[in-house]
A and B are shown apart, each in its own frame.
Chain A
Amino acid sequence: MISIQSITKKYNHGPTLTFPDWIIQDEEQWLLLGASGSGKSTLLNIISGLLKPDSGEIKINGTDIYSLPLKDMDRFRGQSIGIVFQKPHLIKSLDIFDNIALASSLAGLKINKSRVMTLLESLGLAEKRKNFPDELSQGQLQRVSIARALINNPSLLIADEPTSSLDDENAENVISILTEQAAGNHASLVIATHDKRVRNRVSKEYLL
């Protein structure tokens, strides 16, 4: 369960953003909606432990993440939160298999080879495991980044505008994959988007 309470964040030259309280139960799937500039990315960064809010608290399974020491928070994030970015952001010098395995080792976990392969197979990427990122298409790369976000069995999967740079068909695919994989891996899902194509796929909405 993730609970967000009385969060505010002020940027140097901007208004103070305040966010409504939000409770995400285990395995719930949410859309985070809002016009650009409304603070969607800010809230996602705060939830993922990348940006410290000025006030308020975020509890993930009972842990107040900003009360952790920096190093522990890095590790906590690696183990309990999977993040899918707008762009895949894979490491160019590593092949697909290693890119996914890296997420385990950076989070301080043992690499589970069969889990990597299972994930790759379920995303139709098994035969690409020895390829490098620059040999894959944009849609394939996005799927790899989903596999990477899921490898450590996170309790929360966050996707930031995952469809904005994809065509209709690929966008449809990515949303299906995200919802199916989150459910299959027993993770809660939050998709931040302003993409209409996504809205009819997920029922719960959090509006900014």
Chain B
Amino acid sequence: MNILKLSTKNLLRNKLTTFLNIILVAFGVAILSILFLASTQIGNKLERNARDIDLVVGAKGSPLQLILSSIYHIDFPTGNIPAKDALELMQNPMVKRAVPLALGDNYEGHRIVGTDSGFVSLYDLKLGNGKFWAKDLEATIGSTVAAESKLKIGDKFFGAHGLSDASDEHKQHAYTVSGILQPQGNVTDNLILTNIGSVYKMHEPEHDENEKHHEEINNKEITSILIQYRSPMSVVIFPRMVNQSTNMQAASPAMESARLFSLIGVGIETLKWFAILIMAISALSVFISLYNAMKEKKYDLAVMRCLGASKPKLFFLVMIEGLLITVSGAILGLLLGHLALQIIGFYQESSQARLTGLYFVADELYLIIAGLVIGVVASIIPALQTYRVDIARTLSKDK
């Protein structure tokens, strides 16, 4: 029988106290791990989706909203911009690559994006099956869309007006799936890509249906343009030029993501301190339980010394009890954290920013270490008491 078994038996004897302490540690760790996991995942997603995009130009309004709608496909667009002005901007010598976007429709919650082939090279998209869209009403769908909607190549579907609900379908035109993308690990997995002409076609009045649609893009409107600069120098001049001399606004994904993070950062910080407080309370609770147990355990320890146990052995016996509680609490907390995040992800509405519990970060290792440290801190004083137990006196006392 080793001291690990003895510690376990001691803990099992006080099931309720042990349970309470483990739960306390687990809650603190769970909250911290959810914070770690969620903020890393969100950060990664934001970064990956905006990787090659220097600037977004769209209608005036909230720059954050423009970024959210045009890059992350979460929020609603700020409005439309005249295609003529957009074209002018796209031909500016400072612009290396410009990709127009026409948003406004969805299919079962997946956004339909009207764009051109520039989008493919901007996101470095690869086909899993079929081909990219070429003609009007052909669509290439992201891998998540394909998995969730069960659409196959050649299938037809109707887009619905709006960005999330399916109440107002465009029954007169059906899209045909021409290709399915490979999983990209970014927002394009959740998008349906088509050309801008298809989006226009959807929104034209019924009687225009049979007219030819070869008009120049000039008379139309689009939602926004994604821009890559030719040189980093343009960072200063170009946005100012757009904001001052046109009726459009320019927003930088890097700046807006940073602003978004600083906005939610306060909440994350508060939660973090809350979790640390819980962990401190758990350390205190483990300490108090062990300390109180020492009064009763003094006899046990004295007897064990008589039976041949050395002082260091009894010291570790008490230490291991504390460590067993906090380490199993930490492990339980990590499991809870991942489980909670998986459940949150399952019920999340926007599939674009879905969180998953099947994701691990190195910081979680620190939480296990934190569990160890709390265990050591909470049990060192009770454990040191084992050195002070006077065996002869304890045992001859009539108790």
Which residues from chain A sit less than 8 Å from chain B, CB to CB?
A: 41-42, 45, 48, 50-51, 70-71, 74-79, 83, 85-87, 89-94, 98, 101-103, 105-108, 111, 148, 160
Contact = CB atoms under 8 A, between A and B. Distances in A.
Contacts of B391: 45, 50
Contacts, number: 78
A105 B398 contact: no
B1 A78 contact: no
A42 B390 CA distance: 13
B300 A98 contact: no
Contacts of B10: 93
Contacts of B306: 48, 50, 77, 83
Interface string B338-362: 0000000000000000000000000
Given A93-B13, A101-B1, A74 B395 contact: no
B310 A75 contact: yes
Contact of A41 (B9, B299, B304, B392): B392
A101 to B, nearest CB: 6
B2 A105 contact: yes
B241 interface: no
The 6 closest A-B pairs by CB, nearest first: A78-B308, A107-B308, A93-B13, A45-B392, A106-B309, A93-B9
Contacts of A50: 305-306, 391-392
Contact of A108 (B6, B308, B311): B308
A148 to B, nearest CB: 7
Given A93-B10, A98-B1, A102-B1, A41 B396 contact: yes
Interface in B225-284: none
Given A74-B310, A94-B6, A94-B9, A160 B305 contact: no
B308 A92 contact: no
Contacts of A92: 13, 300
Nearest to B392: A45
A93 B12 contact: yes
Nearest to A80: B308
B38 to A, nearest CB: 41
B308 A79 contact: yes
